[in-house]
Structure 1
């Protein structure tokens, strides 16, 4: 038995002690998305773009969704077009979610995974937050995630009832703000906390169809959306709360997403995975 089985590779080399010869043996990768079709919202930049790129590398077809057509085109143009479907539209529009699933099934045959990644921030202290600031964040993070879970979930349940046992995997990108709160972002914290509740509910409702639903709670990732938090005003205070003492990058956090999408996590559902440098234990 090889104890060095890789996560993202399918070959390793072993040196035979007797004759010092090297031979390669084939092992099954723990993380593979070969033949799967994954829907990723907020795919035009940052974490979403990284998820799309890694999913393609791991063998998946990808439905890339973003409101901004220019960033979406720039993100998907270098990728193999036969394995990508670009959908421009608002995640807060249920018709866009339904259309994306219909087009994905027409092009790829099925949908096997969803990553609810799209996000915005509208920071303000509670007493100064406007109705619009509140509602815009709730619409994208919470209501939008529900629309996409409903659209993809209906399809996955239908496939399961038809005898297909591959099921599916849904990954909701939540945040430590949803577990600890976030000063100046009651809208964001409320939406991210709500996503945790949706995750657990879907896991309980759809488990019998072999549909797994999990959340990932990121800390501060180096993306355009977190530039304000990472600025001089908050930098030292934020870094002091992170045991690893640094921000995370999209390239390292997307691996956890693809793990939860893959069969490597086939017995994991209803969980909230913290990928945060240890910030959850600092207070």
Structure 2
């Protein structure tokens, strides 16, 4: 029987792969037949990845470091012959109300969640363009992980909301510039996903408030969230580019 979402023999790079959404994505992409290049900064996450994905190429470093990102991409291409998909996922939060946010809290989030996304987008895109010029008709696809916070704001997270909104602009611009090379670029905007990053809003104090805004009445598991990414990286989405797909149970609806 034909499988609609098939990543067999594709090399997929996932940033922020050592926990949460990135870790769930690595498991799903492997099950769909992909080779994996996994980027993670933390020692604990790297150790977990080495244990669970012994056949993967694991690169330890920060997406804010352009030299590291370029080296990781180069190593991945050498190992697997090219990068066919990027899940641009690494992200952090530093929560504070606007009037209390420090310059450091602002800059740390923007550096990882926006500049880090650009660094990976650019480095992988350059490799995909080279593949296109070498004659590959569909050299690859990129999925940037944004958030509903980038569409409607998020109290206590002006840094995060601004960065995630910037990711949407990067997605559309890259899709326009690189469509001629057959490179697709999309973003997904998750609602509340059950990860360490959302523990506070899923706690007793805020849980009912946030759940009441979700028509489907539940938060996303990481495993549910990443199915959308696999779809967008696969041939099943071959004519979808420049789009922002909301995965949120209906908590944000737009057209």
State the TM bucket, normalised to the shorter chain.
over 0.9
1:107-154 deviation per Cα after TM superposition (whole angstroms, max 9, x unaligned) = 111111111111110010000000000000000010000000010000
Alignment of 1:12-161 (within 5 A): 26=1, 28-81=2-55, 84-161=56-133
**What residue in structure 1 maps to residue 176 of structure 2?**
204
Distance 2:173 2:119 in 1: 15
Distance 2:6 2:253 in 1: 31
4+ residue runs of structure 1 moved beyond 3 angstroms? Answer: none
* Structure 1 position 72, deviation (Å): 2.0
Which of 154, 166, 178 is the aligned partner of 2:150?
A: 178
Q: How does the TM-score come out when normalised to structure 2?
A: 0.97
Residues 49 and 58 in structure 2, CA contact (< 8 A), matched pair in contact too: no
2:148 and 2:246 in contact (8 A); partners too? yes
* Aligned length, in residue pairs: 254
- Runs (5+) with no aligned partner, structure 2: none
Is the Cα contact below 8 Å between 2:39 and 2:59 reproduced in 1? yes
Q: d(CA) in 2 for partners of 1:105 and 1:187?
A: 33
Distance 1:79 1:145 in 2: 24
The higher relative CO (CA closer than 8 Å, separation ≥ 6) is in: 2
Two-structure CA RMSD over aligned residues (Å): 1.1
- d(CA) in 2 for partners of 1:188, 1:139: 10
1:254 equivalent in structure 2: 226
For residues 207 and 41 of structure 1, the distance between their equivalents in structure 2, rounded to whole angstroms, comes to: 23
CA distance in 2 between partners of 1:78 and 1:118 (Å):
19
Counterpart contact for 2:121–2:142, Cα < 8 Å: yes
Tell me the distance in 2 between the aligned counterparts of 1:275 and 1:110: 29
Q: 3-state SS of the aligned residue for 2:86?
A: strand
Tell me the TM-score normalised to structure 1 length: 0.88
SS of 2:252's equivalent? helix
Bigger Rg, which one: 1
- In the alignment, what sits opposite 1:6? none
Distance, in Å, in 1 between the alignment partners of 2:77 and 2:186 is 23
